[in-house]
Amino acid sequence: MLPHIPPAVSEGVIRSVLALVAFATFWLLRVPIRWLLVRLLGWIVYQTGGKRRMRRAELNAHIAPLLIVPTNYLALALGLDVAAQILHFHVLALLLTKLAYTLLGITIALLVGRYITQFVLNRDRRIDLLGLAIEPALLPFIRTFVWALIFFFLLVNILQSWNYDPAALIAGTGLFGLALSLAAKDTADNLLGYFIIVAERPFLVGDYISAGGVAGVVEHVGWRSTKVRQMDQVLVIVPNKNLTSANISNSQRMAKQMLETHLSIPYGSSPRAIQSFLEQVRALLAARPLVEPTSIVALVMNLNKDSLDILIRCNILETRWLLFRTEQETIMLAILGLMEDAGLEQALPSQKVVVQPAAPPPGPLPIGDGEGEASSSRRGSGSVHESAIGGGAGESAQGNGAHVGNQ
């Protein structure tokens, strides 16, 4: 028909037209391809536990929007691959083939990533598929990690398809990760601590905890730190790594709290009165609805030096601080009333003080002239005796005289 056109040119034009037609055909087929993929993926999800959550039609309607972008890439990849097969121009065919494999890799990555993040890691189906109770607070981090892992493998695959060695990328990623971990060691430790806190749940928001010298109500658990409000209303921000390495006491996890007190009864109290008092205490505690009956203890524990030690102990079935303290106050006041009715008193601390007379000062008697000295000594002794009687104290005559003079 066109004798002036060389056969090679006409063949190239025909192949180009056929390649365009094939590409357009696959682009138009993206809608039925999406329909098939929606039914296939919906059947897989339905058979793996989705039928417990929704019907097939609802499941397909939920899956369809997720496959719009992947099926577009898939149609482009198939159209480019068929067009490359039709064209015999080596360079262009090779370029289209590589581009088709790139788009196919992106399609597979999007399908796998969206299926995992939307269905496998879904809050309602993660236990059905994985058998793991993953905390909802960890799901955003897990989804981010899954997407990063998928795109890393996608990038490696694309580099290989374009004849690039991914070894340099892998090595560079490792060095970058090492440098980042060294530079942000504290941040990484706190983030790991957040994962541990969310996974193990040693406490929840609203719990009263005591850890590392900090005691208060947990107000917020963040990826770097945890906020604790103390009883004096001071807000303490504790790094997560400190909480994961500390001994945590959580009052909210107790089903009951122990009440324990000691009474000191002085010696001389009637044993019958003490026995009657202990029986009344046991009856009092047994009548309280919040007291665990099997935990009641009211016994004479020790015979101390100055008093009898009585132990009173029981478990109160209340973990809220104010209600527990109110119940404890009621029991304490009732016990004081029983002590008063029994005629018992609380022993006060006592101390004995022993006063001994002072010994005379050591040393030889003064040397004098015999009788004169003796008479002088007798006169001195008489004056001391009189001073002691008159002054009321056993002091020396001179000291007593000085004392009187000062008065």
* Same domain, yes or no: 272 and 136: no
Quote the domain boundaries for residue 314: 254-342
**Among candidate residues 25, 19, 20, 30, the one with its CA nearest the CA of residue 75:** 30
Q: Which of 252, 274, 298 is the last residue of a domain?
A: 252
Give residue 397's pLDDT.
Answer: 36
* Same domain, yes or no: 236 and 266: no
Give residue 238's pLDDT.
Answer: 92
Domain count, the chain: 3
Contact 228, 214 (CB under 8 A): yes
Compute the distance between CA of residue 163 and CA of residue 330 in angstroms, rounded to an integer.
83
Compute the distance between CA of residue 134 and CA of residue 112 in angstroms, rounded to an integer.
20
Q: Which of 252, 286, 307 is the last residue of a domain?
A: 252
Give residue 119's pLDDT.
Answer: 64
Give residue 183's pLDDT.
Answer: 65
Contact 102, 73 (CB under 8 A): no
Assess if residue 181 is contained within a domain: no
Backbone CA torsion sign across 7, 13, 16, 17: negative
Give residue 92's pLDDT.
Answer: 67
Assess if residue 168 is contained within a domain: no
CA atoms within 13 A on the CB side of 235: 6
* Same domain, yes or no: 234 and 261: no
* Same domain, yes or no: 18 and 118: yes
Contact 303, 352 (CB under 8 A): no
Assess if residue 38 is contained within a domain: yes
Mean pLDDT of residues grouped by 10 in the chain (407 residues)?
62 77 84 82 69 63 76 80 73 73 82 74 52 61 79 83 75 72 75 84 87 89 89 91 88 87 90 93 94 93 89 92 91 94 84 73 58 46 40 39 37
* Same domain, yes or no: 14 and 123: yes
* Same domain, yes or no: 132 and 272: no
* Same domain, yes or no: 276 and 227: no
Compute the distance between CA of residue 137 and CA of residue 327 in angstroms, rounded to an integer.
37
Compute the distance between CA of residue 308 and CA of residue 275 in angstroms, rounded to an integer.
12
* Same domain, yes or no: 321 and 285: yes
* Same domain, yes or no: 199 and 297: no
* Same domain, yes or no: 90 and 201: no
Classify residue 406 by burial, with Cβ atoms within 10 Å: 0-12, 13-18, 19+: exposed
* Same domain, yes or no: 118 and 21: yes
Give residue 299's pLDDT.
Answer: 94
* Same domain, yes or no: 16 and 152: yes
CA atoms within 13 A on the CB side of 9: 5
CATH label of the domain that carries residue 304 = 3.30.70.100
